[in-house]
């Protein structure tokens, strides 16, 4: 039976046959030789996920002072049923991610179709042909118990195998640039030893040809500036030896806008790996601490968001202060503290723990329960309540549902036997909670609602008029504002129309 | 026997006699009448401490569009042996605080001697004569157990008595502006009820004349911009009723540079009181979380300060990140989280606690123990070690020793029977640790030292050449850098001269 990989849009792509695989190897060599003859260096990007696919297009889009491409880019994705579809999709010039950033389809079309210097493959032998590998393998933290991030760990099995593949193929002069967010210590303690081991097996003298390993983390943000957040933003980098550092500096300088966003070099890869996990932990802590003040504010008639605005007037010292909300989602703040905390024992065998960082993950992961508390106070029971959840992505005006706090909200409401309906204008399917259908029309979720939860700050929700919303409900639901999405005027209008309104950190509206 | 109050410079001031007190009352009335005849409004500042005395001078210095003083200011300080000396000192035109800010003596001379619209008194009856009282009574948190800020509370007895005195004297039209950092809820739950009670006793109908109570917190910083940090900086304010709010807005607009630093009004006094304690808790948490990363960095060859610089490149989202150090001192970050946490139960009777805020106080209060750990690792015992502590104030290039972490450092080193000598170029006496003589000459602390601790970043310490320091020591001491005061080049010079160097968060220097 032919194996197929199914894209999110439902289109089926058969995995390559053995004959096709043989052809592919020959083709890769041919392309690479042609591109080298044109004076281009050859780059592979390992892993065509959320970061890798756009990074690959950015590398391919880089030009020299004459406007000619500097690199040819082979994007590599393993031939799994889950992910293979990305290869043919990219090779048709279409990005494998949806985004509100218009530059995403443009840069894929420009590099794949026009410049023809970006192509995806699933053949491992591609690594033998390249000068640079950018590692963008997905690496997640596992949190085995809800609200107990201290038990979290990082399963690096797949990551190690990915690096081992590189060790089996790359030429000694090839620079391996780890871009994946990794536990501090990974380049020194995992990547370098595996490459050394595989080099030695291949008869390469690692005294003469030590593996060239560098680290530079991305600071990508989904949304309207997705491509720019990779290309036009400050980067930190480091390497395991002077040659790696210089190759990394040269590569990043070719690819990124380092004139406007100068590079920062750190002493060693431990430092740059630590920097990434610390900067996200910093934000995670800053969010978590707002919840305790929000709860206090709710009980003493205070609007924590106006307090926050007052505090943030102090630019440079207080303007990073974040806001309480339904909770924290996405792929960084929820896991990076766990990666770093795990690394202390697992990679360095040192004592200690990152208490503030880990506590913040626990507070943030369980934050949705506070919204349920706000609802519980207004009803004798959650059982059978009709609840409309507006927003299931983790970021406003973005359709990304990874680690969305709405998932926790919906799961716990359903545990309490509420009848939950979910809406999101940007989300077609909710892979992390497949049993919930995500509606795109408010008319499918609002009628008869007892509670309407403004969970995410999508523009559509901020703009809807109370009378229009209530006309669809045909009830006077409890309105719950999870993060200051409704103005005081809007809240007063809801109240005037007979609704109760409650909100995270919004003590001033409690009657 | 005549009671005297002794100033820090040793000068003795006899407290006023009964006859002098009678004269003072008459004088206050006469002055006030004269000043009113000149069209000036009359202000009292209650408490001439660190904030109050400078605030009083700033109010007196405020002028109308014709450059004429708007207010006459009576500074009030109780006739206690501890503090009375401030009254005659101010009235001689001399500030009762020492500061590196040249504007401090200038503004006192200008208002007291030249404009003659600022005068200090210890007579309570002054409050019956004024239009505005600015409350700057000291209010501290008590932390009964080291490292257990959750047990902390706020003894408001003296504060209540101060407010009661106002209630007994002020006229109903007088606006009471609380500037002291208070536990959230204080204006509503403490100040207003006491004034209502005293008004009622005096036969004032509080339905017709409700007390006018406002709140606006200062953001004063000692150091070179002491006066400007009161006058030329953003202010948040609020009031218990519309009239208080308007009077407060008018007063602050007359006194502060609100053109360049616009006022922010909050809904109620709970909100502005919460804002002050939250903004300082935010900083306390941001310092505390850096310690756990500093400890990690020390063990994996990383310089946490370079990591911090790399992270802080992200302006507006990451540039508030603070730094680990010997510890946290001063009068705000050490107590404000405790005031807020205490208020939840004590003033509002609500459940909950400010866990991140309280934990941060515990981490910050005990942070000096980490520096002792760094020393302990290098010696078999602290017992009898000769240790020179460079810096006992809580801030660089400032002589303020309030809640200085050097106190904890010295106390614990002495508990371990080290022979500690302390140096600070800005400190004459150490009131919080009187048994320790603070030397002003390095030649008195460095000779024979086994350990030299760079505890505070005074310029003198940052500038001293390693060879000059070691020439005084005549030893090869362990050099301990508590917060990145020494450059890598300086550290390498110390190493080249035969010293070991260790530092908080400085893993890259560990050999």
As for the ipTM of the complex, it is 0.96
Residue A325: inside a domain: no
- Examine the pLDDT at A315 and tell me if it is beyond 80: yes
pLDDT in the model for residue B99:
87
Strands annotated E in B152-284: 153-154, 175-178, 212-216, 236-239, 264-265
Band of pLDDT at residue B511, cut at 50, 70 and 90: confident
Average pLDDT over residues A243-270: 98
Are residues B109 and B228 located together in one domain of the fold?
yes
What distances in angstroms separate CA A499 from CA A510, A511, B85, B492, one per listed residue? 12, 12, 61, 69
From the number of C-beta atoms within 10 Å of its C-beta (0-12, 13-18, 19+), residue A488 rates as middle
Give Cα A27 distance to the centre of its chain: 33
- Examine the pLDDT at A220 and tell me if it is beyond 70: yes
pLDDT in the model for residue A98:
86
Tell if the CB–CB gap between A293 and B271 is shorter than 8 Å: no
Comparing A202-211, B1-10, B357-366, B400-409, the range with the smallest average pLDDT is: B1-10
A447 in Cβ contact with A478 (< 8 Å): no
Q: Flag whether residue B229 sits within 8 Å of chain A, measured between CB atoms.
A: no
pLDDT in the model for residue B98:
86
Which residues pair with residue B506 across a beta bridge?
Answer: B303
Q: What is the pLDDT of residues A446-494, one digit of tens each?
A: 999 999 999 999 999 999 999 999 999 999 999 999 999 999 999 999 9
Question: H helices of A239-367, where?
Answer: 242-255, 269-299, 304-312, 336-346, 355-366
- Examine the pLDDT at A380 and tell me if it is beyond 70: yes
pLDDT in the model for residue B1:
54
- Name the DSSP class of B142: E
Tell if the CB–CB gap between A285 and B283 is shorter than 8 Å: no
- Examine the pLDDT at A367 and tell me if it is beyond 80: yes
pLDDT in the model for residue B212:
98
What distances in angstroms separate CA B210 from CA A161, B176, B194, B202, one per listed residue? 75, 12, 12, 13
pLDDT in the model for residue A303:
98
Q: Flag whether residue A356 sits within 8 Å of chain B, measured between CB atoms.
A: yes
- Examine the pLDDT at A2 and tell me if it is beyond 70: no
Residue B166: inside a domain: yes
Q: Which of B246, B268, B290 is the last residue of a domain?
A: B268
Q: What is the pLDDT of residues B130-181, one digit of tens each?
A: 999 999 999 999 999 999 999 999 999 999 999 999 999 999 999 999 999 9
A81 token code pair = 């049923």
CA distance A382 to A378: 10
How many folded domains does chain A comprise?
2
B391 in Cβ contact with B464 (< 8 Å): no
Best mutation target among B356, B363, B364, B505 (most A Cβ atoms within 10 Å) is B356
- Give the chain B residue nearest A505 (alpha carbons): B271
Residue B221: inside a domain: yes
Q: Flag whether residue B350 sits within 8 Å of chain A, measured between CB atoms.
A: yes
A271 in Cβ contact with A213 (< 8 Å): no
Contacts of A380 (CB under 8 A, 6+ apart): none
**Chain A to chain B, count of Cβ pairs less than 8 Å apart?**
194
**A-chain residues within 8 Å CB-CB of B274?**
293, 296-297, 300, 302, 304, 307
pLDDT in the model for residue B365:
97
Comparing A53-62, A193-202, A245-254, A395-404, the range with the smallest average pLDDT is: A395-404
What distances in angstroms separate CA A290 from CA A305, A505, B291, one per listed residue? 10, 9, 20
B98 in Cβ contact with B398 (< 8 Å): no
Residue A254: inside a domain: no
Instruction: Give the other-Cβ count within 10 Å of B411's Cβ.
Output: 15
Distance from CA of A339 to the nearest CA of B (A): 13
pLDDT in the model for residue A9:
85
Q: Flag whether residue A234 sits within 8 Å of chain B, measured between CB atoms.
A: yes
Domain that holds residue B468: 367-509
B407 in Cβ contact with B391 (< 8 Å): no
Query: Rounded mean pLDDT of chain B?
Result: 96
B402 in Cβ contact with B393 (< 8 Å): no
Element (H, E) at B6: strand B4-6
**B-chain residues within 8 Å CB-CB of A316?**
319-320
Residue A389: inside a domain: yes
Q: Percentage of residues in chain A with pLDDT exceeding 70?
A: 100
Query: Rounded mean pLDDT of chain A?
Result: 96
Interface of B with A in 144-203 (CB under 8 A): 184-185
Are residues B94 and B240 located together in one domain of the fold?
yes
Residue A307: inside a domain: no
Q: What is the pLDDT of residues B212-251, one digit of tens each?
A: 999 999 999 888 999 999 999 999 999 999 999 999 999 9
From the number of C-beta atoms within 10 Å of its C-beta (0-12, 13-18, 19+), residue B388 rates as buried
Q: Flag whether residue B278 sits within 8 Å of chain A, measured between CB atoms.
A: yes
Are residues B13 and B150 located together in one domain of the fold?
yes
- Name the DSSP class of A189: I
Rounded (to 5) percent helix, strand, coil in chain A: 45, 15, 45
A226 in Cβ contact with A58 (< 8 Å): no
A164 in Cβ contact with A198 (< 8 Å): yes
Residue B360: inside a domain: no
Tell if the CB–CB gap between A299 and B352 is shorter than 8 Å: yes
What distances in angstroms separate CA A221 from CA A323, B119, B499, one per listed residue? 18, 58, 46
Q: What are phi and psi of A214, to 5 degrees?
A: -125, 165
Q: Which of B242, B268, B294 is the last residue of a domain?
A: B268
B405 token code pair = 């972490």
Average pLDDT over residues B385-403: 94
Of B222, B255, B310, B274, the C-alpha closest to B58 is B255
Task: Indicate the SS3 state at residue A6.
Answer: strand
- Give the chain B residue nearest A229 (alpha carbons): B314
Q: Burial letters for A393-425: b for 16+ Cβ neighbours within 10 Å, e otherwise?
A: bbbbbbbbbbbbbbbbbbebbbebebbbbbbbb
- Examine the pLDDT at A230 and tell me if it is beyond 80: yes
Band of pLDDT at residue A511, cut at 50, 70 and 90: confident
Which residues pair with residue B237 across a beta bridge?
Answer: B216, B265
Residue A357: inside a domain: no
- Examine the pLDDT at A261 and tell me if it is beyond 60: yes
CA distance A35 to A69: 10
Q: Percentage of residues in chain B with pLDDT exceeding 90?
A: 95
Of A329, A365, A351, the C-alpha closest to A148 is A365
Q: What is the pLDDT of residues B259-276, one digit of tens each?
A: 999 999 999 999 999 999
pLDDT in the model for residue B153:
98
Instruction: Give the other-Cβ count within 10 Å of B377's Cβ.
Output: 11
A214 in Cβ contact with A245 (< 8 Å): yes
Task: Residue A87: give its domain's CATH number.
Answer: 3.40.50.720
pLDDT in the model for residue B223:
86
- Examine the pLDDT at B2 and tell me if it is beyond 90: no
Q: Which of A130, A164, A188 is the last residue of a domain?
A: A130
pLDDT in the model for residue A1:
54
CA distance B310 to B300: 18
Q: What is the pLDDT of residues B470-488, one digit of tens each?
A: 999 999 999 999 999 999 9
pLDDT in the model for residue A152:
97
pLDDT in the model for residue A393:
96
Average pLDDT over residues A406-418: 97
Q: What is the pLDDT of residues B50-84, one digit of tens each?
A: 999 999 999 999 999 999 999 999 999 999 999 99
Are residues B399 and B257 located together in one domain of the fold?
no
Sheet of B132-135, strand order: B118-121, B71-76, B41-46, B132-135, B175-178, B212-216, B236-239, B264-265
A502 in Cβ contact with A481 (< 8 Å): yes
B351 token code pair = 């459940």
Rounded (to 5) percent helix, strand, coil in chain B: 45, 15, 45
Q: Flag whether residue A272 sits within 8 Å of chain B, measured between CB atoms.
A: yes
What's this model's pTM, rounded to 2 decimal places? 0.96
Distance from CA of B182 to the nearest CA of A (A): 15
Of A360, A364, A353, A418, the C-alpha closest to A387 is A418
Tell if the CB–CB gap between B219 and A314 is shorter than 8 Å: yes
Q: Flag whether residue A80 sits within 8 Å of chain B, measured between CB atoms.
A: no
Give Cα B10 distance to the centre of its chain: 23
B55 in Cβ contact with B49 (< 8 Å): no
Average pLDDT over residues B358-362: 98
């Amino acid at each position: 039976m032919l194996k197929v990989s199914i894209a999110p849009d439902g289109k089926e792509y058969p995995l390559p046959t053995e004959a096709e695989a043989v052809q592919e190897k020959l083709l890769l060599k041919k392309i690479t030789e042609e591109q080298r003859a044109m004076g281009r260096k050859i780059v592979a990007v390992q892993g065509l996920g959320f970061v890798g696919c756009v990074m690959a297009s950015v590398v391919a889009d880089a030009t020299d002072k004459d406007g000619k491409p500097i690199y040819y880019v082979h994007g590599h994705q393993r031939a799994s049923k889950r992910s293979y579809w990305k290869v043919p999709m990219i090779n048709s010039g279409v990005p494998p991610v949806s985004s509100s950033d218009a530059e995403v389809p443009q840069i894929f079309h420009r590099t794949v179709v026009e410049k023809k210097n970006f192509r995806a493959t699933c053949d491992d032998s591609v690594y033998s042909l390249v000068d640079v590998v950018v590692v963008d393998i997905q690496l997640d933290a596992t949190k085995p118990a809800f609200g107990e991030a201290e038990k979290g760990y990082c399963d690096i099995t797949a990551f190690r195998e990915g690096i081992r593949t590189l060790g089996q193929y790359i030429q000694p002069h090839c620079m391996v640039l780890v871009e994946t967010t990794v536990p501090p210590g990974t380049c020194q303690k995992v990547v370098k030893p595996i490459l050394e081991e595989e080099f030695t097996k291949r008869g390469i003298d690692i005294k003469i040809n030590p593996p060239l390993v560098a680290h530079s983390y991305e600071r990508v943000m989904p949304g309207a500036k997705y491509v720019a957040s990779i290309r036009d933003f400050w980067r930190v980098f480091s390497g395991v030896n002077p040659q790696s550092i210089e190759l990394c500096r040269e590569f990043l300088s070719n690819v990124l806008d380092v004139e406007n966003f100068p590079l920062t070099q750190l002493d060693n890869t431990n430092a740059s790996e630590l920097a990434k996990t610390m900067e996200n932990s910093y934000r995670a802590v800053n969010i978590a601490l707002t919840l305790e003040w929000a709860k206090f504010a709710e009980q003493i008639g205070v609007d924590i968001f106006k307090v926050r605005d007052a505090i943030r007037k102090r630019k440079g010292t207080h303007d990073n202060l974040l806001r309480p909300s339904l909770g924290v989602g996405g792929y960084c703040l929820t896991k990076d503290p766990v990666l770093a905390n795990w690394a202390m024992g697992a990679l360095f065998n040192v004592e200690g723990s990152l208490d503030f960082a880990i506590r913040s993950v626990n507070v943030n992961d369980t934050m949705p329960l506070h919204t349920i508390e706000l609802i519980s106070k207004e009803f004798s029971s959650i059982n059978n309540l009709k609840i409309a959840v507006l927003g299931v992505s983790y970021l406003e005006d973005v359709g990304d549902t990874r680690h969305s706090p709405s998932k926790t909200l919906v799961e716990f409401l359903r545990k309490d036997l509420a009848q939950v309906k979910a809406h999101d204008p940007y989300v077609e399917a909710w892979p992390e909670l497949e049993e919930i259908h995500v509606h795109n029309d408010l008319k499918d979720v609002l009628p008869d609602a007892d509670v309407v939860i403004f969970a995410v700050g999508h523009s559509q929700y901020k703009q809807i008029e109370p009378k229009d919303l209530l006309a669809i409900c045909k009830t006077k639901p409890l309105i719950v504002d999870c993060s200051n999405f409704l103005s005081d005027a809007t809240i007063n209008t809801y109240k005037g129309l007979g609704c109760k309104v409650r909100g995270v950190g919004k003590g001033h509206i409690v009657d």
